[in-house]
Amino acid sequence: MSVVYERFNRGCSQNNSSVPKIMKQLPPDTVRLLSSSQVITSVLNVVKELMENSLDAGATSLDIKLENYGLDRIEMRDNGHGIKAEDTPVMALTHFTSKIFCHEDLERLETYGFRGEALGSICAVAEVAVITKTEEEDISTQYTLNFTGQIVSQKPSHLGQGKTQIIQSVFSEQPKSKTALYNNSRR
């Protein structure tokens, strides 16, 4: 059992009993995993979300690599406008988006994405790194993100303008569903 999965199970004391169960609010990490699993349901879904982000960023070229049907590693590189350095601390925080600013904007949507959920949800179910460079920046930077979408490390990179997303070990913290996901991914 992985360290991350053990964290979700800590404090689970309601086993099989006919006694009425007490109600407790789920721990925030568990809520995050469950809600993220509703947004990101499969490898295909990860690829779709990343492609939509690339198209929204004006990309004209997409390079996609999958290892073990995407379960071990998904790498997607685009030549879109990239993410400004000042926006990177919030790029994968839930409900942060550059596509709408208030609910009136929903009336005039011109992008695939607008909920600000995809990157944050992917971080909750996989190991994520982002490399980005805008036209104004001299070099690209690689960011490693944690379970909650926060940057935990960064270093200079050699890639050109655009964004590259590296997703590793997707769904590894959900052992019960992994077999089903693996089978679906091969279809």
Ligand X SMILES: Nc1ncnc2c1ncn2[C@@H]1O[C@H](COP(=O)(O)OP(=O)(O)O)[C@@H](O)[C@H]1O
Please report, as ranges, the residues that interact with ligand X according to CB under 6 A: 49, 53-54, 57, 78, 80-83, 91, 97-99, 113-120, 163
Q: Which of these segments, 113-121, 135-143, 153-161, 179-187, binds Mg ion (CB under 5 A)?
A: 113-121
Minimum distance, C-beta of residue 132 to ligand X, in the bound complex (Å): 7
Minimum distance, C-beta of residue 122 to ligand X, in the bound complex (Å): 8
Give the whole-angstrom CA distance, residue 167 versus residue 130. Answer: 9
E strand or H helix at 77, and its extent?
A: strand 73-78
Asked if 116 interacts with Mg ion (CB under 5 A), we say no
Instruction: Categorise residue 61: left if φ over 0, alpha if ψ from -120 to 50, beta otherwise.
Output: beta
Asked if 82 interacts with Mg ion (CB under 5 A), we say no
Nearer to ligand X, 74 or 118 (CB): 118
Q: How far is CA 6 from CA 3, 12, 13, 98, 185, in A?
A: 5, 10, 14, 35, 26
Show the tokens assigned to 166.
């590296």
Nearer to Mg ion, 8 or 94 (CB): 94
Asked if 131 interacts with Mg ion (CB under 5 A), we say no
Give the whole-angstrom CA distance, residue 168 versus residue 83. Answer: 21
Nearer to ligand X, 32 or 81 (CB): 81
Minimum distance, C-beta of residue 52 to Mg ion, in the bound complex (Å): 5
> Which chain residues interact with Mg ion by CB under 5 A?
53, 113, 118
